[in-house]
Chains A and B, each alone.
Chain A
Amino acid sequence: MNALPTIFVAEVLRRIRMRSFWVITLIGVLGVAFVIEFPLMLGRQIHHAQRLVVVAEPALAGPARAVLAKDFTVVATAAPGPSAPDLAFLREHGNADAAVVLRRGAAGIEVTAYAKDLNVLKSETLRADLRPLNVAVAMNVPERRIERSLQFPYAVRGVGTKYADVESARAAAGIGLAAAMLLYLSMLMTSQMVMSAVAEEKTSRIAELLVAAVDPVTLLAGKVLAVAAIGLGQMMLWMATAGVLLQRAGAGPAAPPPPPVSGAEVLALLAFFVLGYLEYATLFAAGASLISRTEDLGTVTGPVVLPVAAAFVLSTYALSFPEGPLVVAASFVPLLSPLVMFARIAVSVVPPWQLALTFTLNVVAVAAITVAAGRVYRVGMLLYGRPPKLGQIIAALRG
């Protein structure tokens, strides 16, 4: 009978019984909710903060009210007074957030805004909204005519890209960044779960008993696959949370357009998670097998974290420059490609041959890393005391 299912089940049970597993899962759910909900909540608050009172002669107040209504709520209009508006003035005029004072000047209008909170006043929007009025006053033509003249059909269309317009492309890059971060964190956290499992067996001295009963590579594989299943489960839960929250946000009255996430991208995310995780988890496991005390884990973690951190940095670069030569090259390199190629897929059309090559190289890399890590693991699990020298590790790798 193959021991792999036994090890797999035991490892899954051991992991999900740990309080830390549930804490991390919950933190992940809350983190996803925070990342999605917080900007929306903040946006709603800022929107509600734009209540204006327009202070101007009646001939200007009416047109100003009309042009500002697009982006602001004009709660009152008032004639100009001898002094600048203060808080009492704002309170008396519909509890406005800001007063916009307009006067006729030499070249149009002169505007001064008095706001309770300078950080939440959309100053540039205010300026843009008043621009037609300024031109109308300067040219002495009705502001509606100027406003109509400023409206003209304008569009940017992609050529050979997967998105129809700039907004979709920007949204895709945003989603791609969030997904790349999710991929990075999931790969790192689940790989470290494997590392701590191996370190636990090593430091609790149960390792030798295990390797006497089963082949070390089977033991390593059972452990890596079990944690992969758990990590995948966690990731799907977090993605489902994101999906539900984004859908809810999309159903709102002033909702942004739904994010352009295709089923193929979700599949790519899962596939690259599995590949990236298998590469890193086996490396982490091999590293953990070399230490005798959990305090020494840092010494083996560093060299393995370095490529995953580099991959994440490159993936953020890839979201902006998906066809850059460095990005394209990195998207074929195992250890880097799970994140970099995913980022390219998120924002551009990757030729199928490149995708096929990346998957093939990663599958080959997973096999090679597993064999190498298995050899180090076999030797490392029985070494106690001083960490092995580089020569010993190289000798183990040679078999």
Chain B
Amino acid sequence: MLELQGVSKSFREVSAVRDLTLSVEAGSVLGVLGPNGAGKTTTMRMLLGILMPDAGSIRWRGSPIDARLRRSFGYLPEERGLYGKMSVREHIVYFARLHGLSGAQAGRKAGAWIERLAIGEYATRPCAELSKGNQQKVQIACAAVHDPELLVLDEPFSGLDPVNADHVASILRQLNAAGVTLMLSSHQMWQVEHLCGRFCIIARGEKAAEGTLEELRRAWPTRVLRVGPRSEALEAALRRAVDARVVDGGEGIIACEVPSSLDLSEVLRRLAAEAPLTHFERVEPTLHEIYVGTVGSGA
């Protein structure tokens, strides 16, 4: 398990991360969400030893993270790059060697990753000649070639077209299925929602929310109630029942936001008694809505 306990980091007067406590189960996938400048990258850099925390502790499987442990981690930074003149194979072998693999192991692993990513035809070509999508694949291979226990990915889908984004997501799923713990940040909510088991929302350097999607939903204070068919009588009945602003929900439906603790069976009984009712739906908040609501509320 990866554990961050009360971690803080400041850059002069700017407090980038404040008293962050977080845990990631081994073999799970954690999505770190937050607006630009929230402290996600700083957090990742601290757990990789690139930056030292001012306070707090970071442990992996119960041990403080040292240079030896860090070499069992893989990292895909947000700002990515390759040696333009180095070939794809050499690049992957080089990073495998930097992570402690022998020459023979590095060669074998690089070959396997080239095959897995279907970039065999580019293996001997300089990286600068590759498309952005293929460069991204090479970078993922560099981050994962040494079979890391923990793979940290900062914006892995950034700059990718939907096809390549799906490809990258499928590779990450395969890695996770093989037991690799993943920690990733992304602004592509739909990708994150499908990939991650748990989420941590960071805003202004502090943890604003954490949990599985179900846990985040349970903690979310409101739900959307959608009822139909749209009629003046139903609209009036709804206003009386929930005391909320009613809006057009589209497709002949009206909608309103209600407290999550509200007894909807009582609302349903009252609406049915006062107006014709064919549609009654309680809509769970999406990750996107929870994220926007959390970050936007200034949490």
Q: Residues of A at under 8 Å CB distance from B?
A: 1, 3, 6-7, 10, 14, 17-18, 200-201, 204-215, 382, 384, 391-392, 395
Contact = CB atoms under 8 A, between A and B. Distances in A.
Contacts of A382: 45, 50-51
Interface stretch (B91-99, B108-116, B252-260): B91-99
B79 interface: yes
A206 B83 contact: yes
Contact of B98 (A3, A18, A392): A3
Contacts of A1: 100, 102
Nearest to A17: B85
A114 to B, nearest CB: 64
B289 to A, nearest CB: 33
A214 B67 CA distance: 8
B269 interface: no
Contact of B99 (A213, A215, A384, A391): A213
A374 to B, nearest CB: 14
Contacts of B12: 391-392, 395
B81 A206 contact: yes
B60 to A, nearest CB: 15
B11 to A, nearest CB: 9
Given A208-B50, A212-B50, A14 B80 contact: no
Interface in B52-105: 67, 70-71, 73, 75-77, 79-86, 94-95, 97-100, 102
B84 A209 contact: no
A209 B142 CA distance: 9
The DSSP consensus for interface residues of chain A is: helix
Contacts, number: 68
A122 B6 CA distance: 87
A212 B100 contact: no
B80 A205 contact: yes
A209 B67 contact: no
Contacts of A210: 98
Interface residues of B, number: 31
Contact of B77 (A3, A201, A204, A209): A209
A212 B45 CA distance: 8
Given A1-B100, A382-B45, A213 B85 contact: no
Contact of A211 (B50, B73, B94, B142): B50
A67 B54 CA distance: 89
Given A208-B75, A210-B98, 18 more contacts: A1-B100, A3-B98, A3-B100, A6-B98, A7-B98, A10-B94, A200-B83, A204-B84, A206-B82, A206-B83, A209-B75, A209-B95, A209-B143, A212-B48, A212-B77, A213-B95, A213-B98, A215-B67
B110 to A, nearest CB: 14
Given A3-B98, A213-B99, A214-B98, A204 B50 contact: no
Given A6-B97, A208-B77, A382-B50, A213 B71 contact: yes
Given A14-B86, A214-B98, A215-B67, A209 B80 contact: yes
A206 B143 CA distance: 12
A212 B75 contact: yes
B71 A205 contact: no
Contacts of B142: 209
Nearest to A384: B79
Nearest to B71: A213
Contacts of A205: 77, 79-81
Contacts of B81: 201, 204-207, 209
A79 to B, nearest CB: 77
Contacts of A10: 94, 97
B128 to A, nearest CB: 9
Nearest to A215: B67
26 contacts: A1-B100, A3-B98, A10-B94, A10-B97, A14-B83, A14-B86, A200-B83, A204-B82, A204-B83, A205-B79, A205-B81, A206-B80, A206-B82, A206-B83, A208-B45, A209-B77, A209-B95, A212-B48, A212-B49, A213-B75, A213-B95, A213-B98, A213-B99, A214-B98, A215-B67, A382-B50
Contacts of A207: 81
A201 B143 CA distance: 17
Nearest to B79: A205
B138 to A, nearest CB: 11
Q: Which of A6, A17, A207, A392 has the most CB of B within 10 A?
A: A6
A359 B139 CA distance: 44
Contacts of B71: 213
Contacts of B50: 208, 211-212, 382
Contacts of B80: 205-206, 209
Q: Which 6 A-B pairs have the closest CB atoms?
A: A205-B81, A206-B81, A204-B81, A212-B75, A208-B77, A6-B97
